[in-house]
Amino acid sequence: MSASVQTLLKLSDRCVLCGLCLPHCPTYRHYGCEIDSPRGRITLIQSLLREEIPLTADALQPLQRCLLCTSCEAFCPSQVEYSRLLLLAKERLQPTPPPRRPLLISLLLASRSRPWLTHHLLTLYRHSGVATVVGQSSALSAQFRHYARRLQRRLRTSPRPSSDRSLSPPPQILLLKGCLGEAFDCTTLNDATTLLRHLGYRVLFLKEESCCGTIHRHQGDIQQAEALQQALAQQIEQQEADTVLYSVGGCSHQYQNLPTSRSVSELVTFLAHHFRERELRGMPPLSPLPYTIALHQPCSSRNQLHNTDDLRYLLQLIPQLKVELLPSNNFCCGAAGTHMVSDPQSAAAYRQPHLEAIATIAPDIVVTPNLGCALHLEQALAPGIELLHPVSLLCRALTIGNDP
Spatial strand order of the sheet with 202-204 comes to: 202-204, 172-176, 243-246, 263-266
Smallest separation (angstroms) from ligand SF4 to the CB of 36 = 8
Q: Are strands 263-266 and 322-325 parallel, antiparallel or unpaired?
A: unpaired
For the packed helices 38-49 and 57-65, what is the interaxial angle rounded to 10 degrees? 150
d(CA 272, CA 245): 13
- Whether residue 169 is preceded by a cis peptide bond, meaning omega within 30 degrees of 0, is yes
Smallest separation (angstroms) from ligand SF4 to the CB of 34 = 11
Buried b / exposed e over 129-157, threshold 16 CB at 10 Å, is eebeeebeeeebeebbeebbebbeebeee
Q: Is 90 or 389 the residue whose CB approaches ligand SF4 more closely?
A: 90
Q: Which own/partner contact pairs does 159-163 have at CB distance under 8 Å and 24+ positions apart?
A: 159/186, 159/189, 159/190, 159/193, 159/205, 160/193, 161/193, 161/202, 161/203, 161/204, 161/205, 162/193, 162/196, 162/197, 162/201, 162/202, 162/203
Q: Residues 6 or more apart from 35 whose CB is under 8 A from it?
A: 41, 44, 62
Smallest separation (angstroms) from ligand SF4 to the CB of 82 = 6
Partners of residue 306 on adjacent β-strands: none
Smallest separation (angstroms) from ligand SF4 to the CB of 68 = 5
User: Which stretches of 66-207 are DSSP H helices?
Assistant: 71-75, 82-92, 103-110, 116-128, 130-134, 138-155, 179-184, 186-198
Is residue 188 a contact partner of residue 391, using CB atoms and an 8 Å limit? yes
Smallest separation (angstroms) from ligand SF4 to the CB of 30 = 9
Q: Is 70 or 190 the residue whose CB approaches ligand SF4 more closely?
A: 70
Give the type of residue at 32: G
Q: Is 72 or 251 the residue whose CB approaches ligand SF4 more closely?
A: 72
Q: Is 80 or 241 the residue whose CB approaches ligand SF4 more closely?
A: 80
Q: Is 81 or 386 the residue whose CB approaches ligand SF4 more closely?
A: 81
Q: Is 42 or 391 the residue whose CB approaches ligand SF4 more closely?
A: 42
Residue 404: other Cβ atoms inside 10 A: 10
User: In terms of residues, how long is the chain?
Assistant: 404
Distances (CA, A) of 304 to 41, 128, 283: 21, 38, 29
Q: Is 84 or 273 the residue whose CB approaches ligand SF4 more closely?
A: 84
Q: Is 17 or 382 the residue whose CB approaches ligand SF4 more closely?
A: 17
Q: Is 77 or 384 the residue whose CB approaches ligand SF4 more closely?
A: 77
Interface residues with ligand SF4 (CB under 6 A)? 15-21, 24-27, 38-39, 41, 66-72, 76, 78, 80, 82
Smallest separation (angstroms) from ligand SF4 to the CB of 336 = 8
Q: Is 71 or 143 the residue whose CB approaches ligand SF4 more closely?
A: 71
Smallest separation (angstroms) from ligand SF4 to the CB of 267 = 24
Smallest separation (angstroms) from ligand SF4 to the CB of 2 = 24
Smallest separation (angstroms) from ligand SF4 to the CB of 59 = 17
d(CA 187, CA 157): 8
Smallest separation (angstroms) from ligand SF4 to the CB of 404 = 43
Containing 202, the helix (H) or strand (E) segment is strand 202-204
